[in-house]
Structure 1
């Protein structure tokens, strides 16, 4: 294997003195990895970021979701876009890819979570999470440019009317979003960081946030954290897939402290094993997204590279108790544009646990319509596919009038994103697929992970009635084909590396270091230890900001307790 270069020739002497190629390797460049890269660089560390996806300039994003090579992530098919789709037995996962991770195709929506998140028994006794995270939510909001959505139109009015019809009108609100509104289409010098960031262009409300913002208005991580990190000398290497992470033999102490780590990475592509390189570091931040992080950690524990990893790995994997539903018109309504605005503009709460948002794609972005069908009730005690067949047999008209669902789909639908803060989870474990590491799932702790949310169905039926009144079009509540098979879809795959008081209780300590391997930190959605009930991006960012705030400046002593001391803190008196 060849040795990867991660620093300039000028610092070669420093590298030889420290015995590692770089101080910190960050695996992934999403919300957690980008925070780690910037904050570590600010503290003087030499940082290398390895990202499996490609780098996009604004003009590189797909014009519509039918440009599959630029939209879909499927390296075996030659597609290196922003949209990942993964399948587990219990859920279909939508995730992001590329330099900037999920910020490239997320819906810009940056909510703070409800109280239930902080009160989850998994972690509530380890810290005053609400108090400790509050200043870091403030920092994350400033860095990501959070403002209240300004877009308004027929969709937003239908959402407000639906909330009122359900008797929860007081919960209706416009979403907090990370978008530069400015003057539509006008490009200006960086308005956020005193000119240190890239130039920005005002939002044109094209609706294609989740395909990739070609305008330059979306506050993706390449516009803030990563841009500033690169300004401090951080190297970001795209199209590099990490396949192995472990301890350099003979470098760690008896409690796993003070180890040197080695990271094997290769060129991303349809065939593995090309251009393999190894880089060594004193610290590693794993932030490859919940799917990527869990895949890597499960594989490394199984092959003995990270043998101290907790048996709790994969537990408390969350889906945000989520459903993707919608309200769909038969035709694209004349004179009513459902695509105008940013991706998510409004929300309301059906009940204390259930949060509903409207989502949209821009004109022409109809590929996700392949997953759409009419809504199918659940909770009847028999499989939903049987309910679907019985429903169509009784009345085939709704399905007939919606087909084909890809026909001007984005102009006909208001997608409903339904999330809950309830305590349900999956248990995820590693497995090999086609010779490569993969994941599988079973039901986990708490309530069963829901395959049907009656609150979401009720909300979409009311929204469909409002939409029909506004457009004059025949309208039905919609769902997805995976959910017909009792497999829900989620855009918020979280957890699996929960924070816990000990290795028996969690994978990470309260500083988000891996129990048993404290030189490895996990700073992405897999460290979110409870269902949020709202979009997770701001929370992932805030948790990462908090974790990085504990890192000492390079060369200073680390004031955090060693993990052996953390365990002794929780031993009963007399032990």
Structure 2
């Protein structure tokens, strides 16, 4: 087949997909992007997380927001939705991982990754508008610094690198990043609602950089289109079938053909599609390594909360994540905030229980704590002004643990499931996270003169960790026996199919992975030839 509807179809518009869209358009390809989520203008984001139709993603129920929540037996996953993917609801935090990430055995020796990715990290930082250190100092930042000191790790405290146009608060100016080629921007007002969707226009989402520039170069982005089938065509190329996201009737099923396809639907979306297409025979040469080395960034979401709003402590003012410290050499802790009124995610929080106990004893501990002081626990557990009263602790590790994902049949349907994989068992709790949460609670009491307590999460009580950074499962490898894609992000057995999202990441970075996903995508796309030119990459 030589006559295709598109040169390239990109599935997903997050950090990997947006890089692919822009760089391929610059190289002269006809590019179409499919995104399952909706498109947002700044004023269309939810004002608070209680506006569930604009905040949560549950399309079958009419909710087309930015926050996805997925569940597997071994983990609960927080992800993004919408044109711009995870950039719409991430905490705009852009760290580079340490050296151990680049020498993980899964990909060590394929390339000198740290050296080879260095210029692509620099490009990603420029494109995403990284401010190297968050400049403002408020109560939360002082509490985090104090907690680090109390834990004996004060030297590891640092200000977060953030992708935000700080500017003059509330003042709109011509594009300050791309010589006027990008959209106008508004200075950050420090409202704290980065993860609900930035209504100000200060957050450097992908619609403010990569995707805006890609559309200027002719890329077509189709929102609210869910890819249901990706089939290899005899003689080359692919047929990509989509339907309207969330539609019960009139699904608007359409199929286009493309010479090449870039998968960038996020780890959940990419893995789900690949698993289903492997099972159906639509992609018959997919590696049996699909689903292995699925990572959770070895994360926990704990925190600390006060019984009332401390008069002297303004917890909600600032961008979502502003500081971090290391509890030990492999455990990284960041403060996280929501803005005033965004209290919905507080429903996941509960009493911190010892994670090394069996379930019945964890439940007994929780009930016992609640009964010993029910008034205090009711005040701590109330969602009223939850974001004003607490600090979330996002804890990440470089530990070598993983899950293996596969399909199983449930009620007549194939669904993804998980089991423990290579390395250490995926943790159901992190003692380091508990220590950090307790240190933060102690500092809130000391600095605010209020009663405060460390908090955990309901999933953690039941032995299910939370992660905001679901990674891997279609990882870079030396061969099809060891992974799903080669060093150029081409799928083994289907070299015109490419994976450039978080599912390609082979190890736990121990920091927020968005910058790394962007840099990996920049590197992968740099090897593509210009349209019509000879491919310089070696054949598989």
Q: Is the 8 A contact 2:73 2:464 kept in 1?
A: yes
* Aligned position for 1:411: 388
In the TM superposition, residue 246 of structure 1 has moved relative to its aligned partner by 1.2
Q: Equivalents in 1 of 2:104, 2:301: separation in Å? A: 25
Deviation by residue 1:223-258 (Cα, 9 ceiling, x = unmatched):
00000000000000000000000111x21xxxxxxx
In the TM superposition, residue 438 of structure 1 has moved relative to its aligned partner by 2.9
Q: Equivalents in 2 of 1:180, 1:435: separation in Å? A: 49
- Gaps of at least 5 residues in structure 1 are 1-16, 252-258, 564-575
Among 366, 369, 372, the residue aligned to 2:349: 372
Matched, 1:516 2:493: yes
Q: Secondary structure at the match of 1:344?
A: coil
* Aligned position for 1:212: 197
1:22-101 alignment runs, 5 A limit: 22-101=6-85
Q: Equivalents in 2 of 1:540, 1:402: separation in Å? A: 40
Q: Secondary structure at the match of 1:349?
A: strand
* Aligned position for 2:210: 225
In the TM superposition, residue 343 of structure 1 has moved relative to its aligned partner by 0.1
Q: Secondary structure at the match of 2:515?
A: helix
Q: Is the 8 A contact 2:307 2:376 kept in 1?
A: no
In the TM superposition, residue 214 of structure 1 has moved relative to its aligned partner by 0.2
Deviation by residue 1:521-549 (Cα, 9 ceiling, x = unmatched):
00100001100100000000000000000
Q: Equivalents in 2 of 1:392, 1:538: separation in Å? A: 41
1:168-207 alignment runs, 5 A limit: 168-207=153-192
Q: Equivalents in 1 of 2:331, 2:375: separation in Å? A: 27
Q: Secondary structure at the match of 2:190?
A: coil
Shift in alpha-carbon separation, 1:519–1:347, aligned structure 2, 3 A: same
* Aligned position for 2:438: 461
Q: Equivalents in 2 of 1:526, 1:26: separation in Å? A: 15
Q: Equivalents in 1 of 2:374, 2:207: separation in Å? A: 47
* Aligned position for 1:263: 240
How many residue pairs get aligned? The number is 539
Among 337, 360, 363, the residue aligned to 1:386: 363
Q: Secondary structure at the match of 2:101?
A: helix
RMSD: 1.5
1:71-470 alignment runs, 5 A limit: 71-147=55-131, 148-248=133-233, 250-251=234-235, 259-271=236-248, 274-380=251-357, 385-386=362-363, 388-389=365-366, 391-392=368-369, 395-397=372-374, 400-432=377-409, 437-470=414-447
Q: Equivalents in 1 of 2:75, 2:433: separation in Å? A: 17
Q: Which moved more, 1:400-409 or 1:138-147?
A: 400-409
Q: Equivalents in 1 of 2:247, 2:361: separation in Å? A: 36
Q: Secondary structure at the match of 1:415?
A: strand
Q: Is the 8 A contact 1:151 1:205 kept in 2?
A: no
